Amino acid sequence: MPVLRATDSMPIRTIVIVGAGFSGTAVARGLLKNPFAERLHIILVERGAAFARGLAYAQRDFPYLLNVPAHRMSACASNANQFLEFRRRHGDPTQPEDFLPRALYGDYLSELLDSAEATAPRNAQLDRWQDEVVAVERRGYSASFTVRLRSGRTLTADDVVIASGNPPPTELPAADAVRYRPSYVQDPWNTNLEFVNSAHVLVVGTGLTMADITTRLAAHNPAAQIHAISRHGLVAPVQTQTRPDALSGGVVTQLLNSNTLRDLLKSARFLAQAADALGGDWREVVTAIRNVAPRFWQHFSSEDRGRFLRHLRSHWDILRHRLAPPAYQRLHAARQRKQLHIAAGRICEMVPSDRGIRIRWTPRGVPETRELQVDTVINCTGPDYRPSHLRDPLLRQLLETGLASGDAHDVGLRTGGVGELIGRNGVPNSNLYYIGPLLRAEHWETTAVAELSLHAARLAAHLAAKSRVHYAALSA
């Protein structure tokens, strides 16, 4: 591995980024484009084989679609059409409202990182390591860290950025008896889905993961019978063409005048009706709320946060995370031909049987328990963001040693203004940062490209500015 060596008096600043999915790639790219006063050595560590992809944009045997149209998928806040330009530069006449396969977005991120590396200043270097970070430890009373890798190697870092991506799904208590059987799939994104010939499948969850897996199953095996069960039985609606002009400029002002969760709910209902009357739809209101969600979340009382999580969270998630029209059409077609059956209820028990797995479940609002016999069960409940349930070795180590801490509602990690991890003692850790969906503890909406790209740009600029201050202090 080539290593930067100081040939003059300029010191070297080493920044280790853990994870090379969207967030890690965006931070690395931002660092390569920001002027650093010191020599910059970025080490991007990824446990998988593919950099600049992560699980979300990996190459797969089925063309899973992005849930956002192409013109809203730029990773660069200053160039809203960058993703469109990338596709057209490669000979694809992509239209702004097209929904493209996720693997193509991985190609785009790879090109962005390669381009940033090729055009970086001479005092900047990027190294890519395929390995897994299992621990980050403070070096005595200094500001630097020791980074330990599964391979046994260690790194010394001036700054560490944790960008480890989405956690796996929650472990279902009802699945204890079948958890290690091949007919039970705990995490569909980390499993080779060689079960498409199953005649009967139970999918646990009815959100976006269910839509992805169901459309794949239906395409590969039209004769399969698919049952999907979740607590509320809610299914994501379809995306529509955006109409930002359907709402007046006073919409955000009215939303911001909502001081409580109850006020916000009333405003949202009123504005949804107004949007319909003006030729738009409720999706524009959801987008408007999403854009100011951090402000609301940070100003809500602890009681309002709890009420939201108990009563509105599942509804918000369904309305906020919508389906690409082609995926929605495939899902709707599977329901129309009686191949897909969606129900609201609670799964009580999964028991191994000679023919696969026997399910005992209780429909919502019905006291009697029912039984369902299936060949395969797939856990599609989506990422489990609760810090108390995290199984990632590095995040567990940070929590156990007190370098990181979860919030009072167990929805994410506590962080400072630019993502500094707040320790168990309530003090932000200088030089140790987090970027990704667990920022939801402070900002709530932190899973989409639009939000994460802003956090990445802010963090990269902060690290560059800190380098200039540090170099000035050394030179004084």
Domain end point (choices 283, 298, 320): 320
412 and 428 belong to one structural domain: yes
471 and 352 belong to one structural domain: no
Residue with tokens 């009333």: 266
Residues in the chain: 476
φ/ψ (deg, to 5) at 348: -90, -40
19 and 152 belong to one structural domain: yes
41 and 129 belong to one structural domain: yes
198 and 144 belong to one structural domain: no
Write out pLDDT tens, residues 178-199: 999 989 999 998 877 765 566 8
What percent of the chain shows pLDDT beyond 90? Answer: 68
Asked whether residue 83 is domain-assigned, the answer is no
367 and 446 belong to one structural domain: no
**How far apart are alpha carbons 275 and 267 in whole angstroms?**
12
Q: How far is CA 66 from CA 150, 326, 343, 378, in A?
A: 32, 10, 26, 21
**How far apart are alpha carbons 438 and 452 in whole angstroms?**
11
- Residue 443 gets which letter from DSSP? H
User: Band of the pLDDT at 1, cuts 50, 70, 90?
Assistant: very low
User: Band of the pLDDT at 10, cuts 50, 70, 90?
Assistant: confident
18 and 46 belong to one structural domain: yes
Q: Residue 204 has which token pair?
A: 């646990």
Give the per-residue pLDDT at 50: 87
**How far apart are alpha carbons 387 and 275 in whole angstroms?**
38
Asked whether residue 69 is domain-assigned, the answer is no
Give the per-residue pLDDT at 355: 83
Cα 286 versus chain centre, distance: 19
335 and 206 belong to one structural domain: yes
Asked whether residue 95 is domain-assigned, the answer is no
Q: Which of 95-104, 160-169, 230-239, 279-288 has the lowest mean pLDDT?
A: 279-288
Q: What is the mean pLDDT of residues 338-343?
A: 96
Give the per-residue pLDDT at 417: 92
**How far apart are alpha carbons 187 and 202 in whole angstroms?**
14
Give the per-residue pLDDT at 6: 44
21 and 126 belong to one structural domain: yes
Asked whether residue 84 is domain-assigned, the answer is no
**Which residue would you say has higher pLDDT here, 453 or 192?**
453
User: Band of the pLDDT at 29, cuts 50, 70, 90?
Assistant: very high
346 and 217 belong to one structural domain: yes
Write out pLDDT tens, residues 358-402: 999 999 999 899 999 999 999 999 999 999 999 999 999 999 999
Q: How many domains does the chain have?
A: 3
329 and 301 belong to one structural domain: no
Nearest to 162 by CA among 450, 443, 437: 437
Beta bridge partners of 369: none
Domain end point (choices 320, 350, 371): 320
Asked whether residue 92 is domain-assigned, the answer is no
Domain end point (choices 320, 352, 369): 320
φ/ψ (deg, to 5) at 314: -65, -35
Q: What is the mean pLDDT of residues 129-150?
A: 93
Q: What is the mean pLDDT of residues 98-111?
A: 94
Write out pLDDT tens, residues 314-334: 999 999 999 999 999 999 999
41 and 154 belong to one structural domain: yes
What is the widest separation between alpha-carbon atoms in the chain? 77
Q: What is the mean pLDDT of residues 92-113?
A: 93
Asked whether residue 271 is domain-assigned, the answer is yes
The whole domain housing 294 covers 244-320
Contact in structure between 318 and 237 (CB atoms under 8 Å): yes
Tell whether the model's pLDDT for residue 415 goes beyond 90: yes
Give the per-residue pLDDT at 197: 63
Residue 354 is part of a domain; what is its CATH number?
3.50.50.60
Give the per-residue pLDDT at 233: 95
**How far apart are alpha carbons 424 and 441 in whole angstroms?**
15
Q: What is the mean pLDDT of residues 192-214?
A: 85
Asked whether residue 71 is domain-assigned, the answer is no
Give the per-residue pLDDT at 5: 45
408 Cβ contact partners less than 8 Å away, ≥ 6 residues apart: 302
Give the per-residue pLDDT at 191: 74
DSSP string, 97-150: T---BHHHHHHHHHHHHHHHHHTS-TTEEEEEEES-EEEEEE-TTSS-EEEEET
Nearest to 103 by CA among 48, 66, 49, 51: 66
Nearest to 413 by CA among 164, 184, 247: 164
Write out pLDDT tens, residues 47-85: 988 898 888 898 888 889 999 999 999 998 788 889 999
Asked whether residue 85 is domain-assigned, the answer is no
Report the predicted TM-score, pTM, of the whole model to 2 decimal places: 0.92
Provide the residue type at 158 as one letter: D
**Which residue would you say has higher pLDDT here, 256 or 399?**
399
Interhelix angle 261-277/282-291, nearest 10 degrees: 140
Which run of H or of E encompasses 473? helix 449-475
Q: How far is CA 33 from CA 24, 100, 125, 456, in A?
A: 14, 28, 11, 12
Which run of H or of E encompasses 299? helix 293-299
